[in-house]
Amino acid sequence: MPAAKAIGIDLGTNNSCVGVFENGEVTIISNNDGKKTTPSVVGFFEGQKPVGKQAKEKMHKKPSNVIFCIKKLIGRKFDDPKIQEDIKNLPFKIVSKDGNAAVEVEFRGEPTVFTPEQICACILVDLVRTANRYLPHPVEDVVITIPAYFDDSQRQATIDAAKLAKLNVLRLINEPTAAALAYGYKEKWKNGILLVYDLGGGTFDVSIIKVSDGCCEVLAKNGDAHLGGEDFDNLLVNY
């Protein structure tokens, strides 16, 4: 019996996806809606926690019960200036739990606080379900991509979210590094210095990577947690 495969997950600010390496290439697995990506959105309605499109479709019922951009909160202190700025822009309630940023929603008829790790775990569980429908064996091992700017607290919080989803994290990989590895595998890159940038829905990352004999070394990295497609949208709306 073949061993269960590890999966790769891109846990994005706006959208997430899951893939597996098979037959010499990466397959991005489609969800129940036939889409390669799932919105990184979790809703809280009538005792249920819908994820993705199903959560977005319920946003009109109670916007404050639909949580998105949770990646901006994970591993951050409530008094972080960036969190205080997010409080002004996000339609749901951000509160302090043990000094860390968390969200409060109405769930099962009463105010309930959920940590970013718990909300990210809901997204991860949904992605694992997608993978399990495709793969012959249940998934346990995972590699997760994270922004290059994530500090130790944010990295640990991501691992904690995976543990809540009953996953074993083999490794966290910076998103630009993952992109470079994928490109290098496909294009058979030559030795040299690369600049890789990742401009997403909510974040912007850049890495300087040295390629030598098929191996890559990250020489420098940086990023901005508040520079992405949503920030462009907000500027246009407020213009």
Rounded CA-CA distance 231/194 in Å is 27
Q: How far apart are the first and last CA of the chain?
A: 60
- Residue type at 136 in one-letter notation: P
Q: Of 73, 71, 42, 72, which is closest to residue 58 (Cα–Cα)?
A: 42
Active-site residue list: 10, 71, 175, 198
How many Cα atoms sit within 13 Å of 139 on the Cβ side? 28
Rounded CA-CA distance 28/115 in Å is 28
- Which residues sit opposite 216 in a β-bridge? 211
Helix axes 152-164, 116-134, angle to 10 degrees: 50
Rounded CA-CA distance 7/227 in Å is 28
Q: Scanning the structure block, which residue is given the tokens 């769930």?
A: 107
Q: Of 42, 39, 21, 20, which is closest to residue 29 (Cα–Cα)?
A: 20
